[in-house]
Amino acid sequence: MLPGVMLKSRSKYVSFYAMKAGFMAPAVEASNFPCRLCGTQAMPYHYSLGNQGQFKYYKCPDCKLVNYDLRGGLDQEQYNTIFVDPTDDNEKFNLDKDQSFDFINRWVPHRGSFLDVGCGMGRLMYLAKRAGWQVKGLEMSAHMAVLVSEKLEIEVAVGDFLQGDAFPGEQFDLVVLRHVIEHMPDSLEAIRQLGRLTRPGGYLLLEMPNIEAWDKRFKRFLVRHGVHQRKFSDNFLPGHCNEFCRESMQRLMEESGFQMLRWETYSMKPISNFIYKRLHVGNKARMLARKRIS
């Protein structure tokens, strides 16, 4: 041990020399903005993205939400590009929706009215309609809404669910939002809007990344100890405002009038999917909640 270096654990020892050698950024101070889910102040630094580590994330010690410091800037580009036939059972792009629908079949007990928020190319609506649900969709792209609506003969409204003006006065037995919630700065307001569209006792299915996946935890460990450095493109900007795990998602549901019933992680690879459904360590998650009756 070098004089003046009081390090108790091997990991701290490695950290010290990695930092000294310039592999790691020095410790970053706590956040100067509150947690966007529970309001906790001064959250500890968790990790950063970007070649200079300029995009910083803070993990709330209370609700466990990982909050991105939005002042770093956001990439909110839409991901949809080409139209894929939602009725094609052999199309690879449709596979993840097929898996979502299997989940619905397993865990939602009754068929009824179904709203797919951000329905995209409509594969999930196609499967639901074929199975006897009364299906509607909401889509921000007017072009996509027309294509899907004509192809599937399903009503697809054009709009943003956050505006609160879609399907006025209408409530559904099941509302689905896939891989959108992590892009919303105010996730509480987003779930309140989905709650407006869900009947009391109705179900909400969300899909999102799982920030506590084993591969993400391992990469963060390697970066923290200077073993791995991810390369980012020059124009990289984060797309996610908030990163969820089971605990923070449960808190979000409780705060917005829902009860979380199930949390599963998943993969498109069959063997990984078998493991992730049981061990909850995969990097994509799906969650089923039920809206409280009173």
Which of residues 64 and 123 has its CB atom nearest to Zn ion in the complex? 64
252 touching Zn ion, by CB under 5 A: no
Q: Angle of helix 95-107 relative to helix 123-130, nearest 10 degrees? A: 40
Among 24, 35, 49, 135, binds Zn ion (CB under 5 A): 35
3-state SS class at 264? strand
Which of residues 62 and 91 has its CB atom nearest to Zn ion in the complex? 62
Among 24, 37, 135, 288, binds Zn ion (CB under 5 A): 37
Give the span between the Cα atoms of 171 and 194, in whole angstroms: 10
Which of residues 62 and 160 has its CB atom nearest to Zn ion in the complex? 62
Q: How far is the CB of 61 from Zn ion (least distance, A)?
A: 8
Which of residues 34 and 50 has its CB atom nearest to Zn ion in the complex? 34
* Total interface residues for Zn ion by CB under 5 A: 8
Q: How far is the CB of 260 from Zn ion (least distance, A)?
A: 16
Looking at residues 38 to 77 of the shown chain, list those that interact with Zn ion (rule: CB under 5 A): 38, 40, 60, 62-63, 65
The structure tokens listed for 85 are 């036939």
91 touching Zn ion, by CB under 5 A: no
Q: 175 and 202 in contact (C-beta within 8 Å)?
A: yes
Q: Which are the contacts of 53, defined by CB distance < 8 A and separation ≥ 6?
A: 25
Q: What order do you get walking across the sheet with 134-139 strand by strand?
A: 155-158, 134-139, 113-117, 172-178, 198-209, 284-291, 258-266
188 touching Zn ion, by CB under 5 A: no
Return residues touching Zn ion (CB under 5 A): 35, 37-38, 40, 60, 62-63, 65
